[in-house]
A and B are shown apart, each in its own frame.
Chain A
Amino acid sequence: MTLVSESPADLVGLTRRMRRHIVQMVYNAKSGHIGGSLSSTELIAVLYSKFLRHDPQNPDWHERDRFVMSKGHCTPVQYSVLAEFGYFPVEELDTFRQKGTRLQGHSILGKPPGVDNSAGALGMGLSFGLGIRLAQRLQGLDDSRVWVLMGDGEQDEGQVWEAAMAAAHHQAEGLIAVIDRNGIQNDDFTKITMSSEPLDKKYRAFGWHVLSDLDGHDLKTVEQAYQWALDQHGGPVCLIFDTVKGKGISFMEHNPAFHGAPPSDEEFEQAMTELAE
């Protein structure tokens, strides 16, 4: 059993390919969530390459780590990494959001293989991951972990804080929350729509091990933070990464217009040119 899959040799190359997939998918489908996918790219690339215990040849391996995509609108980045790791052919990415596809607009558990939760309505993933983690512990799966990726806009949901309270109460060591803090939610900047800060103090007050103000696009920083998470004991871990919505494409960066809107023909051409450099 491969405990950690062979990682593509070049993580920078992996993230560039993932970004090209993301832009291509949303452009093809004329819909989809591009900005929050681009902000999560390094977080997911490093996780799948160096930390997540998974086996693309055996996606139902019971003892695997579970990756819970709580920000389930960002399927483009999730499908991109799954395709790059061989869960399904890269060509299938062209079917994203098309009639008959396995690559649904928002995450569906088990569809395609490698997707471990259903999502789309925000705020449920941390609870779902907590249930998985408590089951792993009951089953004696001491090496297994649950990684939950959430957005910062998602922190508005009350259920997140129900789960935060319960995870600390149940001392859910091995539950690792990763927050992609890109500062933008659907309508606007988070500080205008709903301020959720200070997130680090809030999670700490709830009883979590917290690391914050991390550069979510620096591969080494992400790697070190994930390793730190694995080294914590006695409770759940929250990693808060500062990211750039639309990262990697100049006119999308920090731009609320690219939360859920596809690029035009001209924007697509320019984006792919920038990603080719």
Chain B
Amino acid sequence: MTTAPALAATRDALGPTLIRLQQNGANLIVVDADLGKSTSARKFRDEFPDRFFTFGVAEQNMVSAAAGFAAMGHTVFATTFAVFIEHAFDQLRMSVAQPNLNVKIVASHGGVSVGEDGASAQSVEDFALFSSLLNFSVCVPADVVEAEAITEAAVNTPGPFYIRTARPKTPVIYTESARFELGKADMLRDGSDLTIIAVGLLVERAQRAADQLASEGIEARVLNMSTIRPLDVAALEAAARDTGAIVVAEEHLSHTGLGAMCAQALATCYPVPMEFVGLDRYGESATWSEALELMGLTPEGVADAARKVVARK
């Protein structure tokens, strides 16, 4: 792996990673719905034109056709923006999830951090949709390095897979990709007063929140929960037992997101006070960082939730 730049977008890992995996003997097909430049999938076309198929602005057809390729033995990556893949929910359910076919959805421009395009372009319900589909693995990388590792894991994991990536260039927090393990949370920092569980762009923001909290004498454990399904219940239970309070931070609607899934899991094994940093409304046009600020998805927002949950212990 080359040294990653200090800032990079998770969406940019896809094309180069798929090229490398195909060169190393994978049996990939990439299908696209007229957004290959933005998802970086089009780079794969430049190297393997016979294995790249565009289906135009027609996501439903793309998903069912991807399932057909998979039925013929290929590992198929279907790519578009996160909001547009939601257009094909029934196709994901019946053509992919139920027959358990080897289709990998990589949806870029997820969350409110797509920014200026506004609410219609901001996918804030995709964790819920894909987590509701049995057989799907659901992952969200925290940085471009992890995005590459998750893409490789998707190839090596039979069955349906969903990866949400993001548009803005954000800090790179990992130095190597080898540490990613599907279904395992990554502890980035240990602490005894609470655990902050974060996903995607909120991971780096959670780290900054933990720095601030430490200066106040509050020691936070930080978990990167980059696999939403299958959920790492063991890490969750350990966090509850060890720290007694949990904050979940995500770029997603709170009532159906990672936080809700963590709360359900903990309710059956080790309930502790929880707070949720997420969305309760649709976003609006702004720069990507302003869009996150409008929703309180900031280090300060995470730290506020942490102070609140520690006070409830």
Binding site for B on A (CB under 8 A): 62, 66, 108-110, 116-121, 123-125, 127-136, 138-139, 158-159, 162-163, 165-166, 169-170
- CB-based contact A131/B60 at 8 Å: no
Find residues 48-102 in chain B having any chain A CB closer than 8 Å to their own CB.
50-51, 53, 55-56, 58, 60-74, 90-91, 94-95, 98-99, 101
Instruction: For the complex, give the distance between the alpha carbons of A123 and B58 in Å.
Output: 13
- CB-based contact B50/A138 at 8 Å: yes
- CB-based contact B74/A110 at 8 Å: no
Q: Closest chain B residue to A70 by CB distance? A: B64
Q: Closest chain A residue to B90 by CB distance? A: A121
Whether B9 sits at the interface, judged by CB under 8 Å, is no
Q: Return the contact of B99 from the options A110, A123, A129, A132 (Cβ within 8 A).
A: A110
Whether B29 sits at the interface, judged by CB under 8 Å, is yes
Chain B residues closer than 8 Å to A121, beta-carbon distance: 90, 94
Instruction: For the complex, give the distance between the alpha carbons of A136 and B99 in Å.
Output: 20
Chain A residues closer than 8 Å to B51, beta-carbon distance: 138
Known contacts A118-B94, A119-B94, A166-B56; is A130 also within 8 Å of B99 by CB?
no
Q: Return the contact of A162 from the options B60, B70, B72, B90 (Cβ within 8 A).
A: B60
Q: Chain A: interface secondary structure?
A: helix
B285 to chain A, nearest CB (A): 29
Q: Return the contact of B66 from the options A117, A120, A131 (Cβ within 8 A).
A: A131
B147 to chain A, nearest CB (A): 26
- CB-based contact A134/B94 at 8 Å: no
- CB-based contact A130/B65 at 8 Å: yes
- CB-based contact A127/B72 at 8 Å: no
Instruction: For the complex, give the distance between the alpha carbons of A166 and B31 in Å.
Output: 12
19 contacts between A and B (CB under 8 A): A66-B71, A108-B99, A109-B71, A109-B99, A118-B99, A123-B60, A124-B60, A124-B91, A124-B94, A127-B65, A127-B95, A128-B67, A130-B65, A131-B67, A132-B68, A134-B53, A135-B68, A138-B51, A159-B58
Known contacts A109-B99, A162-B58; is A135 also within 8 Å of B64 by CB?
no
Q: Closest chain A residue to B60 by CB distance? A: A159
**How many B residues touch A, CB cutoff 8 Å?**
29
Instruction: For the complex, give the distance between the alpha carbons of A172 and B235 in Å.
Output: 49
- CB-based contact B69/A166 at 8 Å: no
Q: Taking each of B50, B69, B71, B74, which has the highest tally of chain A beta carbons within 10 Å of its own beta carbon?
A: B71
Instruction: For the complex, give the distance between the alpha carbons of A169 and B91 in Å.
Output: 21
Q: Return the contact of B95 from the options A116, A124, A138, A166 (Cβ within 8 A).
A: A124
Known contacts A120-B94, A121-B94; is A132 also within 8 Å of B69 by CB?
yes
A112 to chain B, nearest CB (A): 14
Chain B residues closer than 8 Å to A66, beta-carbon distance: 71
Known contacts A121-B90, A138-B51; is A166 also within 8 Å of B61 by CB?
yes
Q: A130-B68, A138-B51 are in contact. List 14 more A-B contacts (CB 8 A).
A: A108-B99, A109-B71, A116-B71, A121-B90, A123-B60, A131-B69, A132-B72, A135-B29, A135-B69, A136-B72, A139-B72, A162-B55, A165-B58, A170-B53
Chain A residues closer than 8 Å to B99, beta-carbon distance: 108-110, 117-118
Instruction: For the complex, give the distance between the alpha carbons of A165 and B67 in Å.
Output: 18
B96 to chain A, nearest CB (A): 9
Instruction: For the complex, give the distance between the alpha carbons of A125 and B67 in Å.
Output: 10
Chain B residues closer than 8 Å to A129, beta-carbon distance: 68
Instruction: For the complex, give the distance between the alpha carbons of A177 and B62 in Å.
Output: 18
Instruction: For the complex, give the distance between the alpha carbons of A237 and B35 in Å.
Output: 29
B129 to chain A, nearest CB (A): 16
Instruction: For the complex, give the distance between the alpha carbons of A170 and B69 in Å.
Output: 14
Chain B residues closer than 8 Å to A136, beta-carbon distance: 72
Chain B residues closer than 8 Å to A158, beta-carbon distance: 60
Instruction: For the complex, give the distance between the alpha carbons of A158 and B63 in Å.
Output: 14
- CB-based contact B71/A159 at 8 Å: no
Q: Return the contact of B65 from the options A117, A118, A131, A139 (Cβ within 8 A).
A: A131
Instruction: For the complex, give the distance between the alpha carbons of A127 and B60 in Å.
Output: 8
Instruction: For the complex, give the distance between the alpha carbons of A124 and B62 in Å.
Output: 10
Find residues 254-298 in chain B having any chain A CB closer than 8 Å to their own CB.
none
Chain A residues closer than 8 Å to B68, beta-carbon distance: 127-135
A166 to chain B, nearest CB (A): 5
Q: Taking each of A123, A134, A158, A169, which has the highest tally of chain B beta carbons within 10 Å of its own beta carbon?
A: A134
Chain B residues closer than 8 Å to A62, beta-carbon distance: 72-73
Chain B residues closer than 8 Å to A132, beta-carbon distance: 68-69, 71-72
- CB-based contact A118/B95 at 8 Å: yes
Chain A residues closer than 8 Å to B74, beta-carbon distance: 135
Instruction: For the complex, give the distance between the alpha carbons of A32 and B101 in Å.
Output: 27
Instruction: For the complex, give the distance between the alpha carbons of A125 and B90 in Å.
Output: 13
Instruction: For the complex, give the distance between the alpha carbons of A47 and B94 in Å.
Output: 26
- CB-based contact A166/B50 at 8 Å: no
- CB-based contact A166/B65 at 8 Å: yes
- CB-based contact B53/A159 at 8 Å: no
Find residues 227-244 in chain B having any chain A CB closer than 8 Å to their own CB.
none
Known contacts A118-B99, A119-B94; is A166 also within 8 Å of B72 by CB?
no
Chain B residues closer than 8 Å to A165, beta-carbon distance: 56, 58
Chain A residues closer than 8 Å to B70, beta-carbon distance: 131
Q: Closest chain A residue to B93 by CB distance? A: A121
